[in-house]
Structure 1
Amino acid sequence: MSIIQTVTPVSHDLGGFTVRRAVPSPQCRMVGPFVFIDQLGPARLDVGDGMDVRPHPHINLATVTWLIGGDHAPGNFSGAIEHRDSLGTFSTIRPGTVNLMTAGRGIVHSERSPQDERQKGAGIYGMQTWLALPEAQEEIDPAFEAVSDLPMIEDTCVKARVIMGSLWGRTAPVTTYAETINAEIVLGGGGSIPIDAEADERALMLVGGAATIDGQPLGLYELTLLKPGAAMTLASDTGGTVMLMGGEAFATKRHVFWNFVSSDRERINQAKEDWREGRFPKVPGDEEEFIPLPDKPKTVSYP
């Protein structure tokens, strides 16, 4: 069997679009360095509406934001997101560009739909994932990068874009702190592609259409964990879009509470207190609002 486990995400209706959270869950706490996996949309909001994620903090992790777009976004739902952070970064996330924000010892950011998106009804379709940092790098300086020059592998009826790490002999020019693989795979009818076997842990998520792994159907939006070390083939008879995620297995567990991830439980408690007392830096250009520390966050927590 190529599949060792499937995880059905918990869905949250955020008023106009759905967020499906597969990790962390009681069934799966990590896939390689991926300690958080959210799938967003596809959806188009009403004219005048948009996504507004107010300033909030992170520690000891890196966030990866990826929008699905172009000819593989059904109904052109891909949209755009304006990112601002406490480093002074302003970046508009669009399909084909990966935004990597390294929180390290601490960062604050916000994510909002651009005004031009609101005027036509903001589209939302993509992935937001968090990568746990290795213990020796958890407290590094915060950083940000947006990379568009990503390798594209094209074959008959298949296009695969390497977002992070090395796959199919190509390497993305994106910072990795642990061995990481991440790719968007778009299969046309009759398309197929081998799934590299080198990573310690790998998972697939079908985000549109239909696809199989070694002949076994993938469930839409389910996180499908693959058998380690096994070479296998992803294919589609009618066309589909699949996200591949994984990398090296971490030897030590991570504690998760709200937007905080750390190998040290007390470090999370300190971050909670710092946010409550206003000790994190502000986000230039988005200083008026913030998300208060919740008593019970929606993120599955292991404090």
Structure 2
Amino acid sequence: MSWNPTLDPHCPEIGNLNAIETIIIPRSRDLGGFEHHGRQDLPLLDGEGKSVRLIIGNAWGETAPVRTFSEMFYADVLLERGASIPLPENHEDRGVYVTSGSINVAGQDFAAGQMMVFRPGDKIEAAKVAWAAGDWAHGRFQLPPDDNDEFIPLPEA
């Protein structure tokens, strides 16, 4: 059974809906039931151009209330342009999945839909890609309404 909020007459128009569902099943352990924690129960680190909601595990000095059976962390991170965040070094396996926009890791840009997995011990800092000349050249820069008659190239730096 699926639910489509755009077809539900009781649901206000919400625009695009993006979601990632994560199910963690420990090997040879009793799950002991289903856990649900509301957004208000999850640690939020907010400031310096970043908003980090820790969903599972421990990172950045915080611990989420979700029960885990091994060391891990899982977070929803929103970065403003130019902001960055170091990935915790106290976890052996670390990865990043970009859901929207793009980030820069070690001088390489990664766009929405890409995933990176890092080796243990790598010092990693993810940064929201600052506005780039490519955004202008490829029309990804929002112009004022009715101001699309003339294209002015970006001056060389």
Give TM-score, length-normalised by structure 1.
0.38
Relative CO higher for 1 or 2, CA cutoff 8 Å, sep ≥ 6?
1
Matched, 1:146 2:37: yes
- Count, aligned residues: 128
Aligned counterparts of 1:158 and 1:127: Cα–Cα separation in 2: 20
Indicate the residue corresponding to 2:81 in structure 1. Answer: 189
- Residue number among 223, 232, 235 corresponding to 2:115 in the alignment: 223
Indicate the residue corresponding to 1:116 in structure 2. Answer: 10
Q: Residue type of the partner of 1:145? A: H
Larger Rg: 2
Offset of residue 187 of structure 1: 0.7
Q: Residues 47 and 128 from structure 1, CA distance in 2 versus in 1: closer, same or farther, beyond 3 angstroms? A: closer
Q: Mind listing any 5+ residue stretches in structure 1 that lack a counterpart?
A: 1-44, 50-114, 240-303
Offset of residue 202 of structure 1: 1.2
Q: Residue type of the partner of 1:216? A: Q
How big is each residue's C-alpha offset from its partner over 1:42-90, in whole Å with a ceiling of 9 and x where there is no partner?
Answer: xxx68425xxxxxxxxxxxxxxxxxxxxxxxxxxxxxxxxxxxxxxxxx
How many percent identity over aligned positions?
23
How big is each residue's C-alpha offset from its partner over 1:3-61, in whole Å with a ceiling of 9 and x where there is no partner?
Answer: xxxxxxxxxxxxxxxxxxxxxxxxxxxxxxxxxxxxxxxxxx68425xxxxxxxxxxxx
Indicate the residue corresponding to 1:172 in structure 2. Answer: 64
Asked whether the equivalents of residues 159 and 185 of structure 1 are also in contact (C-alpha less than 8 Å), the reply is yes
Offset of residue 124 of structure 1: 2.3
Q: Residues 210 and 132 from structure 1, CA distance in 2 versus in 1: closer, same or farther, beyond 3 angstroms? A: same
Regions of 4+ moved over 3 Å: 119-123
Aligned-residue Cα RMSD (Å) equals 2.5
Asked whether the equivalents of residues 85 and 125 of structure 2 are also in contact (C-alpha less than 8 Å), the reply is yes
Offset of residue 199 of structure 1: 1.4
Indicate the residue corresponding to 1:155 in structure 2. Answer: 47
Q: Mind listing any 5+ residue stretches in structure 2 that lack a counterpart?
A: 132-157
* Equivalent position SS for 2:36: strand
- Residue number among 104, 128, 143 corresponding to 1:236 in the alignment: 128
Offset of residue 128 of structure 1: 0.6
Q: Residues 179 and 147 from structure 1, CA distance in 2 versus in 1: closer, same or farther, beyond 3 angstroms? A: farther
Offset of residue 121 of structure 1: 6.3
How big is each residue's C-alpha offset from its partner over 1:67-116, in whole Å with a ceiling of 9 and x where there is no partner?
Answer: xxxxxxxxxxxxxxxxxxxxxxxxxxxxxxxxxxxxxxxxxxxxxxxx63
Indicate the residue corresponding to 1:131 in structure 2. Answer: 24
Aligned counterparts of 1:164 and 1:141: Cα–Cα separation in 2: 17
- Residue number among 93, 110, 119 corresponding to 1:201 in the alignment: 93
* Equivalent position SS for 1:144: coil
- Greater strand share, structure number: 1
Asked whether the equivalents of residues 134 and 178 of structure 1 are also in contact (C-alpha less than 8 Å), the reply is no
Aligned counterparts of 2:37 and 2:16: Cα–Cα separation in 1: 20
